[in-house]
Structure formats: C-alpha cells, structure tokens
C-alpha cells in the first residue's frame, strides 16, 4: 500500500539527520507506485553517531536531475542543511555539486552521497558520467512551470540509456507553495509517474513540505531492492558508491570540484564520442 498522508506527517516528526556539506501551504500529495514494503520510520544519526541494530554501513548514491531552476539545489539544501536558499540569492549549478548525508533507515546505517546535477544542456556531456553507480534518481519539475514537466520524457529517455531498470526513481513536483500559479495538475503528474514506474510526491523546499519524505521513500525502496546495494563479490562489503577521497578528482571532506576547463573537456569528449561512454 502507498504511504498515507498521515504516515508522511509522522515521518516529518523523526529526529533530524546529520549531514556533511560539500557546497553550496498545505498541499495534495500522492505516491505511485507503492514502495515494496509498508511505511517504516527512518531514524537519523546525530553528529556523534546513533544507535543502530549493527551491521555494515550501506552506501547509497542518489542523483537529482531535471531542468534548470526547478529547485534541485534548494531541495538538497533543505534536506541536508535544513536551510532554504531564496531564488534571488541562488545561482544555477555549474557541473555537479555533492553532499554526504548519514541517516538510519529500517535499522540500517545509510550513508547518502547526493549529487546535484546541472540542468543546462551544455553540461549534459559531463553530468551524464555521474549516472554510473546510482541507485536512486530524483527527477524534479516545477509545478508552476509547464515546460519543466513537458521535458520529463527526455530525462526518462536519458535514464534508459545510463541506468538499469532496477534503479529507484521518484518524480518530484516542487514549489507547491506557488499553488495559485500551478500549471501542472497533481492528477496528471501522478498518472505520468505511474506510467514511468516511479514514485510520485509533491514538495516545497521553501515551505519544507514533504522534502524529507521524498528522500526517505527513495532510500526505503532502495533497501527493499538488495540487488542495488549488496556487493556480489562475496567479501562482505555493501554499497556501490565509489569514494571521492582521491583518484577521481574528488576532495576529502566531500567536496567535488568541477572546473570550467573540465566542463569544456567533457563537452568536447561527448561531442567526439557522440555521448557519454559510461
């Protein structure tokens, strides 16, 4: 059964999680399809850790994708830092930003690596490479901007190219605080999500509506899909996220630096190869 509104509200009472930063009105909510198990609470870790049922830490990689200015960075900031960045104070993501967030879900320690990708077409060649190893995808559109919703088929087509069919996907209609300016009906978006085999939820980073719930639902469904996180090498490790602490342009502390020269090189390689080789 899909989570009820009451369940979602209960989740919002959960202890707030700890995170590591690397950068910078009531509404209707539905979900589709239902997660593979019933609603379960997610307990966050504190700065010094939290009680768990034991076992290894599970590494989960999640990507935020969608058109520019739909609020991807604001959703991530609200979830991980409990902050909202006003639109007139924010700038478009250049390349990829990265945050680490630790929490406990279903009695398991989970380390989220959340990648906030640029929505502009000119960065597509380099951002496409970050799909590798992703277990969850958050597709975001602006409920007050029809164009961002109409672009979703193109984003789903990109997912068909770069990720497996088992990867968990959630469609997020953001900015429901702009209800009077809404251009995308909830019913239409929910039906589209069902056709695309995706969870669906509406959020507001500004008003902190259903933001945490969106991330929790993705993690819960990933945990319900062991093939996404159980290492098949038999060495006892779990998770599939490559470390960004060295060897791949990462910086200790979780900061991913993408220079303009890197972006230009990525664009050139993408044009020569006809797309990402991942």
Q: What is the pLDDT of residue 121?
A: 55
Task: Give ∠ CA 265-266-267 in degrees, rounded to 5.
Answer: 90
Q: What is the pLDDT of residue 123?
A: 53
- State the pTM of this model: 0.66
**Structure token pair of residue 250:** 């990462």
For strands 136-142 and 168-174, give the pairing: parallel
Q: What is the pLDDT of residue 120?
A: 55
Instruction: Using the CB atoms, write b or e for 231-246: b if 16+ within 10 Å.
Output: eeeeeeebbbbeebee
The answer to whether 124 and 204 are in contact (CB under 8 A) is no
The answer to whether 214 and 203 are in contact (CB under 8 A) is yes
Round to whole Å and give the CA distance between 156 and 147: 15
> For every one of its 278 residues, what pLDDT tens digit does the chain have, with 9 covering 90 and above?
445 444 544 444 443 444 444 433 333 333 444 433 333 334 333 322 333 334 588 999 999 999 988 999 999 999 988 887 776 555 555 556 788 999 999 889 999 999 987 655 555 566 567 888 999 999 999 999 999 999 999 999 999 999 999 999 999 999 999 999 999 999 999 999 999 999 999 999 999 999 999 999 999 999 999 999 887 554 444 554 333 333 333 332 333 333 333 434 444 444 444 443 33
- Separation in Å, CA 155 to CA 46, 67, 115, 170, 253: 35, 9, 16, 12, 30
Residues with Cβ within 8 Å of 244's Cβ and at least 6 positions away in sequence, in order, are 98, 113, 250, 251, 254, 256
Q: What is the pLDDT of residue 232?
A: 57
CATH fold group of domain 5-33+50-273: Rossmann fold (3.40.50)
Q: What is the pLDDT of residue 89?
A: 54
**Structure token pair of residue 248:** 């791949």
The answer to whether 267 and 94 are in contact (CB under 8 A) is no
| Strand boundaries in 76-198, DSSP class E | 96-105, 108-117, 136-142, 168-174
| Strand boundaries in 131-221, DSSP class E | 136-142, 168-174, 199-202
Strand partners, 168: 136
Q: What is the pLDDT of residue 56?
A: 82
Q: What is the pLDDT of residue 265?
A: 46
- Separation in Å, CA 218 to CA 48, 55, 91, 93, 240: 25, 21, 26, 23, 16
Give residue 238's Cα distance to chain centre: 20
Round to whole Å and give the CA distance between 33 and 3: 10
């Amino acid at each position: 059964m899909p989570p009820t509104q009451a369940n979602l509200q209960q989740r919002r009472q959960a202890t707030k999680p700890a995170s590591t930063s690397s950068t910078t009105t009531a509404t209707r909510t539905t979900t589709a399809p239902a997660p593979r198990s019933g609603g379960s609470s997610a307990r966050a870790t504190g700065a010094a850790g939290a009680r768990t049922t034991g076992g290894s830490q599970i590494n989960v990689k999640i990507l935020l994708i969608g058109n520019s200015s739909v609020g991807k960075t604001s959703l991530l900031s609200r979830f991980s830092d409990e902050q909202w960045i006003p639109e007139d104070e924010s700038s478009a993501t250049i390349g990829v930003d990265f945050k680490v967030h630790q929490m406990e879900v279903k009695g398991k320690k989970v380390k989220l690596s959340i990648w906030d990708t640029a929505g502009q077409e000119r960065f597509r060649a380099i951002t496409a490479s970050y799909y590798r190893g992703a277990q969850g995808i958050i597709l975001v559109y602006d409920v007050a901007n029809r164009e961002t919703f109409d672009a979703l088929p193109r984003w789903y087509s990109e997912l068909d190219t770069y990720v497996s069919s088992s990867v968990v996907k959630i469609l997020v209609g953001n900015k429901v605080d702009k209800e009077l300016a809404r251009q995308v009906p909830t019913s239409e978006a929910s039906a589209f999500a069902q056709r695309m085999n995706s969870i669906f939820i509406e959020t507001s980073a500004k008003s902190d509506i259903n933001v945490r719930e969106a991330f929790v639902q993705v993690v819960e469904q990933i945990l319900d899909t062991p093939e996404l996180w159980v290492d098949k090498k038999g060495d006892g490790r779990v998770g599939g996220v490559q470390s960004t602490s060295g060897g791949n342009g990462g910086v200790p502390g979780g900061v991913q630096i993408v220079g303009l020269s890197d972006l230009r090189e990525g664009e050139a390689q993408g044009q020569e190869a006809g797309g990402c080789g991942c």
